[in-house]
A and B are shown apart, each in its own frame.
Chain A
């Protein structure tokens, strides 16, 4: 997980720096740019907000579009819920604010890999590799950005999509996941072209898993098929639906 976390920290540094640059270009003060990063802490929504503010869109429109763009976090939150259900409520409330694309992918991949919930793994993914680098890079971008003539020359804009696709690799354990990813991407692009990128991402994220579920178990080639004791051992979580053998009523973490 630490290697992946380092990759995400680099991604957050690059992406946060570009956000700081963009905010500066749009006329944000350093404190406004940083407030967005601390309070909203949502990269794509912050980038969109910079564009909306620069184009003079009214605040209600910006808020509405932010809600739409960030609605995908509901899927993340629901997917992580079974793993974190035994964490005290107050800590879960803080975890929620730190739930980003990166924190989700790092932590759920980590939980699956080790076979049980590791709260520290979540905090490392959310704070050390994302929140801190993102905010430091925002500050650097908005304060120092004027001295860099053309940051896209350095390929900073490719870091975010590359990090997202790289993180998805860790979540692929069989053909169902591959089908969900391919369909999610295809549907996302088509719907984005017909409506908007924010809507496309959400619709792709909703339809991809539904199609993935249609792959029959015998063709899924899961290394740990969902719904079996092997899956429970690998992806063990409290409240799991899996029926356990009579001699192992509680299950055992992988």
Chain B
């Protein structure tokens, strides 16, 4: 069984861990000025929304060129947002999102991802 890619995994860890650890292991971060603290409180919603939007609206081809994507995934993500906000239950939101995509793809209303 091949193990050739394990050193690559270690190198990927080496460049990932510092960004995860710097904030947690740096003592002065809990004494940020007010504006810094307020900024950090807003990071979560911004990054999570950015992740979700880029995941469903931007696709890349084999050459890595990004392009805008419109599809049923938008509706699924919005449905998850609505159900989670309404019922305060993420699991229900995920079930709604998956159900929309499955039905749309099974009935031919939406194409399978490339």
Q: Which residues of A contact B (CB under 8 A)?
A: 3-4, 6-8, 10-11, 28-32, 35-36, 39-40, 42, 44-45, 49, 53, 55, 59, 62-64, 66-67, 70-82, 84-85, 89, 92-93, 95-97, 99, 101, 104-105, 108-109, 150, 152-172, 176-178, 180-189, 192-193, 195-197, 200-201, 204-210, 212-213, 226-227, 235, 237-241
Q: A76-B43, A161-B73 are in contact. Are A30 and B1 (CB under 8 A)?
A: yes
Report yes or no: A92 in contact with B102, Cβ–Cβ below 8 A: no
Q: Is the CB of B89 within 8 A of A3?
A: yes
Given A208-B50, A226-B38, are A35 and B113 neighbors across the interface (CB < 8 Å)?
no
Q: Which residue of A lies closest to B72 (CB)?
A: A158
Q: In whole angstroms, what is the CA distance A237 to B6 when docked?
A: 39
The answer to whether B25 and A70 have CB atoms under 8 Å apart is no
Task: Looking at the assembled complex, report how far the CB atom of B106 sits from the nearest CB atom of chain A, in whole angstroms.
Answer: 7
Q: List 16 A-B contacts (CB under 8 A).
A: A29-B2, A32-B6, A39-B6, A40-B16, A59-B8, A63-B15, A78-B23, A97-B21, A161-B55, A162-B94, A185-B49, A201-B54, A212-B42, A226-B41, A227-B38, A240-B37
Q: B residues within 8 Å of A by Cβ?
A: 1-6, 8-17, 19-27, 29-35, 37-58, 60, 62, 64, 66-68, 73, 76-77, 80-81, 84-85, 89-91, 93-94, 97-102, 105-106, 112-113
A-B contacts besides A78-B22, A162-B98, A180-B49, 9 pairs, CB < 8 Å: A29-B2, A59-B8, A77-B21, A80-B24, A152-B112, A163-B94, A188-B53, A200-B58, A240-B37
- Considering the chains assembled together, what is the distance between the CA atoms of A160 and B4 in angstroms? 29
Q: Assuming A75-B43, A226-B38, A226-B41, is B53 touching A189 (CB within 8 A)? A: yes
CB distance from A109 to the nearest CB of B (A): 8
User: Which residues of A lie under 8 Å from residue B10 when comparing CB positions?
Assistant: 39
Contact pick for A210, options B12, B39, B52, CB 8 Å: B39
What are the residues of chain B within 8 A of A176 when measuring CB–CB? 42
Given the known inter-chain contacts A7-B94, A85-B27, A169-B81, please indicate yes or no for A164 contacting B52, CB distance below 8 A: yes
- Which chain B residues lie closer than 8 Å to A39 at the CB level? 6, 9-10, 12-13
CA distance A73 to B111 in the complex (A): 33
Given contact pairs A7-B90, A153-B105, A155-B105, A32 touches B55 in the complex (Cβ within 8 A)? no
Are A189 and B58 also in contact (CB < 8 A) when A36-B5, A239-B31 are? yes
Are B54 and A192 neighbours in the complex by a CB distance under 8 Å?
yes
Known contacts A7-B93, A200-B50, A208-B45; is A155 also within 8 Å of B102 by CB? yes
Contacts A158-B76, A161-B56 given: A62-B8 contact, CB under 8 Å?
A: yes
DSSP class of A's interface residues: helix, strand, loop or mixed? helix
Task: Check A101 against B12 for contact (C-beta < 8 Å).
Answer: no
Determine which residue in A44, A81, A177 has the highest number of CB atoms from chain B within 10 A of its CB, and name it.
A81
Find chain B residues with CB under 8 A from A204 CB.
46-47, 49-50, 53-54
Chain B residue at minimum C-beta to C-beta distance from A155:
B101
